[in-house]
A = this chain, B = another copy of it.
C-alpha cells in the first residue's frame, strides 16, 4: 500500500483543524501554530513537519481492520495534535531552543505565547476527536475520546516523572518503564487502539492493536536511548553521546547506575563534559549499559511483532503496517 495519499490526507486534515484560528483577529496566533507544524516560516517543509507516524498508525490500524480510513481522519489529526501540544510545552520545560532544526516556538514568540500555542493545539485535538461524530455513532466517539484523554493523563504523569527524576541520582532500571510508558508508549498505544476501535475490531482485536502500539513505543524509546549515546551522528542528526551531557535518565544510564561501577561514580559527581563523553560511553558499555539496553530493545521488538501478528491486520494496510513497523524497529541500522 502506498502511504503517500494517506500522509497527504493527514496534512490536509491537520490544516483544516488548525484553520479554526484563521480569522483576522487571531491571524498572528494561527501563524504560530502553522510555524510549529512545519508549514510556514523559515525552514518550512517536509523536514520541519516530522514524520506523522502517529496519525499514519491510526489510519493503517483502521484500514487493516477492514474499514475506510478516510472516515477516521479527525482521529488521526487528534493524536498528532496531542503529540505537537506536548512538544511545544516540552520545549519550554526543557529549555530547548531547536526542534527539527528550527528555533522552537518559545524562542520565536516568548514563553507566555508558547504556553498558549500548546494549549490551543491541545484544545484542537479535543475538537478533532469529537468531530468523529459526523461519521461514527456517538457511543464510539465517547469511547475514542475516553482513550485519548486517559492517554493524555499518562503523558502528564510521564512528564512529571521525567522532570522529577532530573534531580535524582538514586534511580534504577525499574523507574524507567513507568516513565517511558507515559512519555512515549501511551500515545502510540492509543493510536493503534483508537484505530482498531474505529475500524470495528472487537475487544480482543483492540487489545492486540493496543499492545502492539505500546511495545512499538517502548522499542522506539529504548532505541532512541541507545542512539543518544552510541549512535552515528550522521544518521541521527544529533551529536552522539549528547544524552550523557544532558544528563538524560536513559535506560543505559540507569543500567550503569545499577552496576555501581566507574560509570555510576562519575555520573553521581555531576554534569558530564563534552570532552569526556567518548570515554564515558566506552566505560558504560563495558559495565553492561549497552547490553542491557539492546537486550531490552530486542525483547520489546519481539513483543511488538507478536502483538501485531495477534492483531492479524488485513489487506494492503496490514502489509503496510508490517512494513512501517519493520522500518521503525530497524532505524538504528
Given contacts A116-B93, A142-B130, A142-B138, contact A149 B163 (CB under 8 A): no
Chain B residues lying within 8 Å of A25, measured Cβ to Cβ, are 157, 161, 178
CB–CB A29/B157 < 8 A? yes
Q: Which residue of B lies closest to A141 (CB)?
A: B142
Instruction: Report whether A150 and B127 are in contact in the complex, using a CB–CB cutoff of 8 Å.
Output: yes
C-alpha spacing A145/B148, complex, angstroms: 13
A113 CB within 8 Å of chain B: yes
With A123-B156, A164-B28 as contacts: A130 and B116 at CB distance below 8 Å: no
Residue numbers in B under 8 Å from A139 (CB-CB): 138
- Shortest A88–chain B CB gap in Å is 10
**A133 vs B127: C-alpha distance when bound (angstroms):** 18
Instruction: Please report the C-alpha to C-alpha distance between residue A137 and residue B138 in the assembled complex, in whole angstroms.
Output: 9
Q: In the assembled complex, which residues on chain B have CB atoms less than 8 Å from the CB atom of A122?
A: 119, 122
Distance in angstroms from A189 CB to nearest chain B CB is 16
Interface positions, chain A 52-111, Cβ under 8 Å from B, are 89, 92-94, 111
Do B130 and A145 have beta carbons less than 8 Å apart? Answer: yes
Question: CB-CB < 8 A to A116: which residues of B?
Answer: 89, 93, 156, 159-160, 163
A26 in the interface, Cβ–Cβ < 8 Å? yes
Interfacial chain B residues near A112, Cβ < 8 Å: 92-94, 163
* A242 at interface by CB-CB < 8 Å: no
Q: How far is the CB of A260 from chain B (nearest CB, A)?
A: 23
The CA-CA distance from A163 to B130 in the complex, in Å, is: 29
**Contact flag A115-B115 (CB < 8 Å), given A28-B164, A156-B123:** yes
Closest to A179 in B: B25
Checking B120, B152, B156 against A153 with a beta-carbon cut-off of 8 angstroms, the contacting residue is B120
A24 and B122 alpha carbons, distance in the complex (Å): 27
CB distance from A96 to the nearest CB of B (A): 11
- Are B20 and A153 in touch, CB under 8 angstroms? yes
Complex formed: what's the CA distance from A138 to B137 in Å?
Answer: 9
Q: Which 3 A-B pairs have the closest CB atoms?
A: A93-B112, A138-B138, A120-B156
- Chain A residues engaging chain B, CB cutoff 8 angstroms: 20-21, 25-26, 28-29, 89, 92-94, 111-113, 115-116, 118-120, 122-124, 126-127, 130, 133, 137-139, 141-142, 145-146, 149-150, 152-153, 155-157, 159-161, 163-164, 178
A sample of 16 cross-chain residue pairs with beta-carbon separation below 8 angstroms, ordered by A number, consists of A20-B153, A26-B160, A89-B116, A92-B112, A113-B163, A115-B118, A116-B156, A119-B122, A120-B153, A123-B152, A123-B153, A126-B126, A130-B146, A138-B138, A138-B139, A138-B142
